Amino acid sequence: MTNSDSTVPKPEFGSASWGLARNGSMSTTERLRFTIEAIVAQIKVQGRSLLGSSVPAAERLARLDTSRIRLPDTSVVTQAAELASECVPDWVLRHSMRTWAWAVLFAQMDELKFDEEVLAVSCVLHDIALIPNAEGNYGDCTCCFAVAGGQKSFRYLLSLEWSEKRAALVQDAISLHMNINVGIDAGVEAHLLHEGAALDVVGARYKEIDSSTLQVVLDRYSRKDFKFKFSEAMHEQAQLSSSSRTAMLWTLGLKHAIERSPWPD
């Protein structure tokens, strides 16, 4: 067997296996690529704001059904929400619920089929390691809250007798959500979690949802003081490790992106 035959493929950047291998710390090459992707993404966001979607607004909005943005009524989703409430304050929980709502709405607009339970659990748990002072909020990773949250979620779901395959989908989605881009090829639930979180934090794709639909979600899950509190949390996370994705995003202007998002809070 040649050396090339025995070479183990590198784990996908930002994935759970990458987090395990690198403790959530980016290499110099990864930081360079991450920076380029961030710049390109910002240009795309600005372009979308000016040009809008290629799909007619009436056609996109006709697909939206706000009655579908309630969490699935299953024991696993209920227990995941209970775990989240033990790990993070209410303002983070409301962010997680809004992320779920936006993710479901984007799935409707983009006509994506997804596992409701996997997506709901991923959204509810995606920030359970965000607050450093929360008791027991970390997994094995000490420098990236997304990797740590994915690890903790994976173990918790196994304790609920979820299959390892489904628990791994949640772990990957949570670990990946701090990437600049998460394509559908990474898993539709991972993609939708990323899209929902990006809308809630920096207003990505904000203009693709009509104001009345936005208000339905905001009436259910208030954004009160979210920008300020989330910015503080990101700053604190960035200070934990200079080589984490959070630290790089902070350096690239995450604070300003949060402040100038179209959200009124």
Structure tokens at 152: 């903790």
- The answer to the question of residue 177 being in a domain is yes
Q: According to the model, what pLDDT value does residue 133 have? A: 60
* Radius of gyration, alpha carbons of the chain: 18
User: How many of the other CB atoms lie within 10 Å of CB of 52?
Assistant: 13
- The answer to the question of residue 1 being in a domain is no
- The answer to the question of residue 3 being in a domain is no
- The answer to the question of residue 264 being in a domain is no
Domain count of the fold of the chain: 1
Q: According to the model, what pLDDT value does residue 4 have? A: 41
Rounded Cα distance, 232 and 215, in Å: 25
- The answer to the question of residue 5 being in a domain is no
Question: pLDDT tens digits for the chain (265 residues)?
Answer: 334 444 556 789 999 999 999 999 999 999 999 999 999 988 877 666 555 554 556 566 667 888 888 899 999 999 999 999 999 999 999 999 999 999 999 999 999 999 999 999 999 999 999 997 655 455 567 789 999 999 999 999 999 999 999 999 999 999 999 999 999 999 999 999 999 999 999 999 998 999 999 999 999 999 999 999 999 999 999 999 999 999 999 999 999 999 999 998 8
- The answer to the question of residue 201 being in a domain is yes
- The answer to the question of residue 265 being in a domain is no
Per the structure, the complete domain to which residue 251 belongs is given by 11-259
Q: According to the model, what pLDDT value does residue 132 have? A: 77
- The answer to the question of residue 79 being in a domain is yes
Rounded Cα distance, 259 and 265, in Å: 9
Among residues 116, 261, 119, 84, which one has the least CA distance to residue 196? 119
